[in-house]
Structure 1
Amino acid sequence: MPSAAERTRTLVQSTSSAVLLVPGVNSARPEQLMPLARSVGPDGEIFLVLPADSPVVRAATHAQDDELTAVLEITDVAPVAVPHRIRGRAWITGWLTCVPGIAEPGRMMLRLEVGDASVDDLWGAEGVEPEEFARAEADPLVAHEAELLQHLYSAHGEQVRTLGRLLGGRAGQAAPGPCERVVPLALDRFGLRVRLTHAHGDCRPAEHTFDARFEFPEPVRDITGLRRAMHGLFEAAAG
């Protein structure tokens, strides 16, 4: 499984929504706290681009040599419609400074020096040390995960549904029946996670959901490797 540092780094470098929270900045509109872009530097620092008129930018500018603490909160939402759609959250706490002259006009780049981090996601809740975050690498599929899951759901829905056959009677469930949905939920270099929704009785609520994870024979490095791994999964389910 990916480490907590890898999962946190992946969320930072993903397209998941984020807000930058600074003590004392309480009157800002939500969109004024949302970075327009974010990236990770070679030493593990996080670079954030915000509108130049953001209250956060003003606070960082006025702080000058003082330490301005901030929390970057990232919320990861599944790119396909499933029950309980939030897949996880990450919090990165650190010290904020301005990096003038880098961003385009009307914007300002801020540097967040990481002091502490934590993640609470489909794998569980864990803390992350700054050194671990700096050494970690984002999952190689992070830039394409949302598109890939949407493609699996829309173009290969029936094949994804057959994966439930690989579960047998595990998790207290029978193989998917006519009232069951199997939706691709998360994808990384190690495997695919799906969410099964079983409706009782005549296909009307109440519903019961549970997740199942299918590991690849070996970690994939790119889309070509993922294609081979998914083909193997579908072949195993069909057989």
Structure 2
Amino acid sequence: MLVAAQSLGLRTPGYRADIAGRHSVTGDGRVRVDLPAGSHMARDIAHQRETVAMIEVTDLAPTPVRDRVRARGTLTGWLSPASIDRNAGDGQLVTVLDLATAELSTTGGTTTIDPIDFSTARPDPLAATEAELLCHLDHHHPHTVERLCRLVDPHRLHGVRMVRPLRLDRHGLVLRLELVNSDRDIRLRFPAPVRHPDQLGAQIEALLRQARRCRPPRAHW
């Protein structure tokens, strides 16, 4: 979520800033945030030396589904200045968040993530290109999506009006089944986890081979 986040906000006492594209995760599991050195938030952090802070990230589907929010994450901790980058325009204050708590909320509920687990996590190999790949699949290969629907239990397709690719990660592809008043998300698991983006084509083809052995669904959209 953090690697490809397009909706990312930072809150400190009295201030809020959009930090999408200004953030990264360091090797030791801290979140780095680069702030314009002349901003009110940056000056306050530099003066305080350490302040309580919250980062809110919203994971949005890149495809035009009805409800684009796939998940929400909340990171809280202590934000402190690390250095000033004089090479960026008028200068940037480099800050780091020492994580205290982290929560991830999805349609399945809310999960608390231990800071140690967060620090040892690594980005999904498809995270940086997921949006582009999903949009390409949705816009240029609708027949591929239709064939993959053969892998879905026919009973789950009853009443479906539209199917779009929703999520893509190392474990597989998630399809969003849109009904009149509700949605269903179905994960199609790859035979083996993807360890590098170059392996994605082979895993999609493996799913299509499985689909060819299934009878076409009766549902139409």
TM normalised by structure 2 equals 0.87
Check if 1:223 corresponds to 2:197. Answer: yes
Task: Note the C-alpha offset of 1:35.
Answer: 4.6
Corresponding position of 1:87: 70
Q: Distance in 2 between matches of 1:216 and 1:20?
A: 36
Task: Note the C-alpha offset of 1:166.
Answer: 1.6
What is the identity, as a one-letter code, of the residue corresponding to 1:20?
L
Does the CA contact (< 8 Å) of 2:9 and 2:18 recur in 1?
yes
Moved more, 140-149 or 162-171: 162-171
**Match of residue 70, structure 1, among 32, 53, 57:** 53
Aligned to 1:233, the other structure's residue is in SS state: helix
Moved more, 119-128 or 144-153: 119-128
Does the CA contact (< 8 Å) of 1:220 and 1:226 recur in 2?
yes
Corresponding position of 1:157: 142
Does the CA contact (< 8 Å) of 1:35 and 1:48 recur in 2?
no
Does the CA contact (< 8 Å) of 1:160 and 1:234 recur in 2?
no
Corresponding position of 1:135: 120
Q: Deviations over 1:117-159 (max 9, x none)?
A: 1111255420011111111111111111111101111121111
What is the identity, as a one-letter code, of the residue corresponding to 2:175?
V
Corresponding position of 1:169: 154
Corresponding position of 2:165: 184
Q: 1:83/1:35 Cα in 2 relative to 1: closer, same or farther (>3 Å)?
A: closer
Q: Distance in 1 between matches of 2:21 and 2:210?
A: 42
Identity across matched positions, percent: 34
Mapping of residues 26-65 of structure 1, within 5 Å = 32-64=17-49
Aligned to 1:115, the other structure's residue is in SS state: strand
What is the identity, as a one-letter code, of the residue corresponding to 1:230?
I
Aligned to 2:84, the other structure's residue is in SS state: coil
Does the CA contact (< 8 Å) of 2:5 and 2:20 recur in 1?
no
Task: Note the C-alpha offset of 1:59.
Answer: 1.8
Q: 1:159/1:33 Cα in 2 relative to 1: closer, same or farther (>3 Å)?
A: closer
What is the identity, as a one-letter code, of the residue corresponding to 1:215?
R
Check if 1:18 corresponds to 2:8. Answer: yes
**Match of residue 80, structure 2, among 97, 103, 112:** 97
What is the identity, as a one-letter code, of the residue corresponding to 1:168?
D
Report the count of equivalent residues: 211
TM normalised by structure 1 equals 0.81
Report the aligned-residue RMSD.
1.9
Q: Deviations over 1:49-96 (max 9, x none)?
A: 1222333212201102xx300001001110010011111111110111
Moved over 6 A (4+): none
Q: Distance in 1 between matches of 2:21 and 2:135?
A: 24
Corresponding position of 2:216: none
Does the CA contact (< 8 Å) of 1:35 and 1:49 recur in 2?
no
Check if 1:118 corresponds to 2:130. Answer: no
What is the identity, as a one-letter code, of the residue corresponding to 1:105?
G
What is the identity, as a one-letter code, of the residue corresponding to 2:32?
F
Aligned to 2:29, the other structure's residue is in SS state: coil
Does the CA contact (< 8 Å) of 1:185 and 1:195 recur in 2?
yes
